Amino acid sequence: MTTSFHPPQRTLMGPGPSDVSPRVLAAMARPTIGHLDPEFIRMMDELKGMLKSLFKTDNELTLPVSAPGSAGMEACFVNLVEPGDKVIVCQNGVFGGRMKENVERFGGECILLQDDWGKPVDPEKVKAAFAEHDDVKVLAFVHAETSTGVRSDARTLCQIAKENGALTIVDAVTSLGGIEVDVDGWGIDAIYSGTQKCLSCPPGISPVSFSPRAVEAVKNRKTPVPSWFLDKNLVMGYWGGGGKRAYHHTAPVNSLYALHEALVMVEEEGLENAWARHQKLHLALRAGLEAMGIGFLVDEESRLPQLNSVMIPEGVDDAQVRTALLQNYNLEIGAGLGDLAGKVWRIGLMGSACTQRNVMLCLDALENTLSAMQAPINTGVAAQAAAAVLAE
Ligand SMILES: *Cc1c(COP(=O)(O)O)cnc(C)c1O
């Protein structure tokens, strides 16, 4: 007979999911109630309010899509891109490539701008593309490229889109909760995120927000939104204001309890304090790794604190190290993707996993594992270097 599944207790320092706090897991185990129950609707209103603060927006159309980040991405593109629409997509890693896929599947004309993996989106290329092409409807880019650990300058890119009368679609799956995101301040029109990165919730929900301009664009479509499930006009019947809630789909009740609890925790800490924690612990991790002789892929000014792509030392077998970390330390770190496979590790410091204890655990586990393999690293110095940063 099949028996219950009991997962091991891991420490998740990869590209997501990140460690989920026991408080969030406990919230998820509370009794399931009806998704039209007045108490549930009260919880939904609180959730929506907290999402608006998190995104720094007054957008009425702010809600959690009942599916993972990829569905939030698709929700933005399927609502805003119609056949023939021109969309500039900036690609500097895996997720920009998925944006291109989305544009093409919905019949849009994709103008693809590429930057090297490990570099931020180049605003000059975006300006040049707008100068070259008329009637661009949307500029789409990834704020925090999880495949490389790069932060692009969302404020500047949105400014360029605005000057050219285009809407913006921004991927904030890995940025939200870890670094500054300012939807209204930067003039973002459509944004999507995920719960399992810096919000430290179980995967499966995607917070999204649409500006009034984006809502207008959806209303003025010539063709119906080709996805029934992700059509924002329909979802608003359930998530919209005004107290009237109509059945659209059965909300993932317990997953939304988890998101509510995670956002309560963000409010308790303070959003700015959460950003500062990610930055500080990134600096501590960096100091330890650099003392060991391990360098970073990304230039300092565009590094994400929550996703550290670090160079694998010469002659070291990538998979062997990751397997040893998992088996001996219950520690998960991420592998490189695409051309970076075998060349970098991706060490996440996201949400609840972004702690002093985890930084020290990771440095210690890497040092022990690498030195046992006779890898060319400096030993006995990493912990002290990290501790010095933490003491600042
Ligand atoms: C993880 C991630 C996604 C996809 O989210 P899923 O929840 O895995 O569907 C999209 N964009 C970025 C930048 C991500 O890091």
The domain limits of the chain are: 22-267, 270-390
Instruction: Give pLDDT tens digits for 13-25.
Output: 999 999 999 999 9
**Is the domain defined by 270-390 classed in CATH 3.65.10.10?**
no
| pLDDT recorded at residue 168 | 98
Distance 315 CA to ligand 1 centre (A): 31
Measured from the CB, is residue 146 less than 6 Å from ligand 1?
Answer: yes
Distance 206 CA to ligand 1 centre (A): 9
Measured from the CB, is residue 192 less than 6 Å from ligand 1?
Answer: no
Using the atom order of ligand 1, give the atom closest to the CA of residue 196.
7
pLDDT of 172 over the 80 cut: yes
Cβ atoms 343, 392 nearer than 8 A? no
Measured from the CB, is residue 173 less than 6 Å from ligand 1?
Answer: yes
- Mean pLDDT, to the nearest integer, of 349-364? 98
Measured from the CB, is residue 142 less than 6 Å from ligand 1?
Answer: yes
Instruction: Give pLDDT tens digits for 223-272.
Output: 999 999 999 887 877 777 666 788 889 999 999 999 999 999 999 999 99
Q: How far apart are CA 249 and CA 35, in angstroms?
A: 9
Q: How far apart are CA 162 and CA 155, in angstroms?
A: 11
Distance 231 CA to ligand 1 centre (A): 20
| pLDDT recorded at residue 239 | 79
| pLDDT recorded at residue 97 | 96
Give the architecture (CATH level 2) of 22-267. Answer: 3-Layer(aba) Sandwich (3.40)
Q: Read off the pTM.
A: 0.97
Burial (CB count <10 Å: 0-12, 13-18, 19+), residue 387: middle
Cα of 279 vs its chain's centroid, Å: 16
Distance 334 CA to ligand 1 centre (A): 14
Measured from the CB, is residue 265 less than 6 Å from ligand 1?
Answer: no
